[in-house]
Structure 1
Amino acid sequence: MATTDRQATTLALAHALSAAERGLAVIPLSRTKLPAIRSPHRDDPEPAGPPCRGECGRFGHGVYDASADPQRIRALFAAAGRATGYGIACGLPPHHLVGIDLDTKSGADSSAALRELALRHLFTIPDTVVVLTPSGGRHIWLTGPPDVVVPNSAGRLAPGIDIRGAGGYLVGPGSRTEHGVYSAAPGTAHLAPAPCPPALLRLLLPPPRTPRTASAPAGGRHGEGLVQFVLAAHEGQRNTRLFWAACRAYEDGIGPSLAPALIDAALRAGLTDREARSTVASAARMTGHQP
């Protein structure tokens, strides 16, 4: 290994150990931001059961290797060899980290999309850790409740907004990748990850399963499920449910035909006509469609 690579690995290990002191579980990453230890099962025959998540006792299981134990972290980096960064596992105690990844590569204004979501759903992003990416994006660190599993998603909230939840990881500040170095935004490195606002948390969770009825509007059973999801909204949920359902409808290509049924369901749930139409129009814009 070249001297510069050894220095990058040593520095990444130091940053990883510092993160572990804050209770964050880490894994070594390569310059490509992928786990730096290859799977020990890469040459195994096709498994008959579920894939191994570290039960074999060997390293190389990605985020399932993550640990906050200094001795294990040193062993992971020793096995990684060419690690130049580290990943922080999301969803694990004590922080149950949730990452809001505001990407810039998609061409969408993800920061503006998050501001619009915050205005529409009446939440604010609290002071928390923010990590700046080499491409100009941002990772916002939040914490979730211990009994709630936030799934990973890409672009579901809005174009350019990805969510890192259970089973995912965030590239830690101080990591060096082939595109540059990740760094904590000024004034945030000393902060603890702040709790995720409840209104935002509701947007991050998948909708509950809804009962099917005999008749289906435009879009078939999927469209019917979205309409029923809006109909089942209680006070305080109606805008959120309508916005979520409309976004899914436009993403699936049935937005224009399903919009009238969604608006009618929202009216029956208690929204005004103006509120319902404005929310559906906002969903159309957020998904790149003309309302």
Structure 2
Amino acid sequence: MATTDRHAVPLATLALAHALSAAERGLAVIPLSRTKLPALRSPHRDEPAPAPCHGECGRPGHGVYDATTDPARIRALFAAAPRATGYGIACGLPPHHLIGIDLDTKSGTDSSAALRELALRHLFTIPDTVVVATPSGGRHVWLSGPPDVVVPNSAGRLAPGIDIRGAGGYLVGPGSRTAQGVYSAVPGTAHLPVAPCPPALLRLLTPPPRAHHRSPAHPDQQGRPGQQGQQGQGLVQFVLAAHAGQRNTRLFWAACRAYESDLGDTLTEALVEAAIRTGLTEREARSTIASAARLTQHNADA
């Protein structure tokens, strides 16, 4: 990203320069502290029972939900975080829909070898793309996903030592300085375009929702199990396709349609799981579904 002399300027200024450089490539960023956590504290931290907020209040301090490519907004975020020493790059957002393959070394496993084994087994090749070296000796491989596919975050699910950063997650950007050291682009990769994720790997990163056992159909629903199953799967996929700013809205709409079709209780767990995969917490998901259930019941009683 940006090239500057770190001994000549404050770390926060360096971090801002790198963040602005990343934003020029269409990557949405936030300021990070030396701990790799968002540098801005939540504006709701002193509230006794804060309602879920992803930045709708208009104040900074919502982690990855603050991520932006707007230079003025980025400068404002860093001005509010004078101790920032790095920046995070939000995954899953347009135009790149970034997916991060985090090859860790702390687990004691050879995660690079594990990725090569997966590639051989599933017949895909990691294309030339941006690769970032971490202070611990690991690697972050950047890939681009399609706009209609939500890749969830995961840790060790693909293989031991391989973590995935997807929708709702972020990667530490090259040039960031943390308590462990500096993140830097692997030579020869810094200015490469973010390569598309191979289809075979993308399939591994987006497992289908778990199948849930359904209770016997109500007598007035018999004869329509295929139709109900198709409708339920469509609602789950509708939630999975949500991007930042759409997650609660899409989940609420899908839950309303499910309860209106007498599928609410059947689909609740699948909808919760889908919402979690897009970045919502379980508490947020269940609260939204409960609101949809109450509204649907109220409309039915009216």
TM-score (norm 1): 0.70
Instruction: Quote how far apart the aligned CAs of 1:25 are.
Output: 0.2
Instruction: Quote how far apart the aligned CAs of 1:142 are.
Output: 0.2
C-alpha contact 1:5 1:82 (8 A) present in aligned 2: no
SS at structure 2 position matched to 1:80: coil
SS at structure 1 position matched to 2:78: helix
Deviations 1:60-102 (A, max 9, x none): 0000000000000000000011000000000000000000000
Equivalent in the alignment of 1:129: 130
Equivalent in the alignment of 1:200: 201
Instruction: Quote how far apart the aligned CAs of 1:191 are.
Output: 0.4
Equivalent in the alignment of 1:23: 26
Which ranges of 4 or more aligned residues in structure 1 deviate by more than 4 Å? 3-6, 211-214
Equivalent in the alignment of 1:108: 109
1: CA distance between counterparts of 2:184 and 2:88? 13
Instruction: Quote how far apart the aligned CAs of 1:129 are.
Output: 0.2
Deviations 1:175-206 (A, max 9, x none): 00011100000100010110000000000012
2:38 to 23, 32, 35: 35
Equivalent in the alignment of 1:158: 159
Q: Report 1:225-264 matches (<5 A).
A: none
Aligned length: 210
Asked if residue 46 in structure 1 is aligned to residue 57 in structure 2, the reply is: no
Equivalent in the alignment of 1:230: none
2: CA distance between counterparts of 1:31 and 1:5? 19
Instruction: Quote how far apart the aligned CAs of 1:16 are.
Output: 0.2
C-alpha contact 1:36 1:82 (8 A) present in aligned 2: yes
Deviations 1:122-176 (A, max 9, x none): 0000000000000000000000000111000000001100000000000000000
Asked if residue 89 in structure 1 is aligned to residue 90 in structure 2, the reply is: yes
Instruction: Quote how far apart the aligned CAs of 1:15 are.
Output: 0.3
1: CA distance between counterparts of 2:7 and 2:37? 20
Q: Flag the 1:4–1:156 CA change in 2: closer, same or farther, 3 A.
A: same
> 1:90 corresponds to which letter in structure 2?
C
Deviations 1:211-242 (A, max 9, x none): 6499xxxxxxxxxxxxxxxxxxxxxxxxxxxx
1: CA distance between counterparts of 2:187 and 2:95? 25
Instruction: Quote how far apart the aligned CAs of 1:210 are.
Output: 3.3
SS at structure 1 position matched to 2:10: helix
2: CA distance between counterparts of 1:4 and 1:128? 29
> 1:177 corresponds to which letter in structure 2?
T
1: CA distance between counterparts of 2:73 and 2:193? 24
> 1:204 corresponds to which letter in structure 2?
L
2: CA distance between counterparts of 1:180 and 1:57? 33
> 2:188 corresponds to which letter in structure 1?
G
Unaligned runs of 5+ in 1: 215-291
Asked if residue 179 in structure 1 is aligned to residue 175 in structure 2, the reply is: no
> 1:147 corresponds to which letter in structure 2?
D
Equivalent in the alignment of 1:191: 192
How large is the RMSD of aligned CA atoms in angstroms? Answer: 1.8
2: CA distance between counterparts of 1:133 and 1:204? 22
TM-score (norm 2): 0.67
Equivalent in the alignment of 2:285: none
2: CA distance between counterparts of 1:4 and 1:112? 37
1: CA distance between counterparts of 2:119 and 2:131? 17
> 2:114 corresponds to which letter in structure 1?
A
Unaligned runs of 5+ in 2: 1-5, 216-302
Identity of matched residues, %: 84
> 1:163 corresponds to which letter in structure 2?
I
